[in-house]
Amino acid sequence: MQVMQGEDRAALSAATPTPNAAPVSTGPVDPPARASRPLLALTAILAVLWYAADQASKAWALSALADGRPVDLVGDRLQLVLVHNPGAAFSLGTGSTWVLTLLAVVVLVVILRSARNLRSRGWAWAFGLLLGGATGNLTDRLVRPPGVGQGHVVDFIDYNGWFVGNVADIAIVSAAILMGLLALRGIGVDGRREGVRPPDPSAQASGDARE
């Protein structure tokens, strides 16, 4: 058996990890953002309120506008007239009801997954409006004639003869505009601005210690 020299023992000691040794930091790592419960509650409240307003307004339209006669609000520029729409918002895509139904389900799933990192009030409003509007029209496609997944959406707001929409469409368009503005400002769902890193706590602590 060979006797281990001092240099060999030193090399072996350096190569063997110490159980209680702290891991080597390779740089600041951003922790995953956790959703803010108040903002999640705001999103849920907005979605429920807008969904309720959409379904209540459609029930009223089915009753009050059943005779098919238009009701002027601002002359003939803004009227109320009942339309059963097999397509998307503003009577688009009338021949793709099943595709639009599946697309609405995908949108809802994406919103719910994205909301796990919600820390922006603007995005909370956008998600709430989009959830309420998309769920309102999806409900029509699932429960109204002619059948599940192919139901016709109840539209009744006629915009100068260009298209006919409903309360859910107003929420969807408002959410799209708000999302566009947030994206232009570089504000993410987690509330951080694009290109701006949060302060590193360890670096701040080191700076305080030097002062």
Longest dimension (CA), the chain: 106
Separation CA 105–CA 138 (nearest Å): 8
Task: List Cβ neighbours of 160 (8 Å cut-off, separation of 6 or more).
Answer: 76, 77, 78
Q: Are 54 and 155 in contact (CB under 8 A)?
A: no
CA 144, CA 61: separation in Å to the nearest integer? Answer: 14
Dihedral over Cα of 200, 206, 209, 211: its sign? negative
Among the listed residues 54, 158, 169, 190, the single catalytic one is 169
Residue 190 bears catalytic tag: no
Please identify which residue in the block is written with the tokens 């989009």. Answer: 130
- Asked if 72 is an active-site residue, the reply is no
Q: Give how far the C-alpha of residue 128 lies from the chain's centroid of Cα atoms, to the nearest Å.
A: 7
| Catalytic member of 54, 140, 155, 190 | 155
Catalytic positions: 155, 169
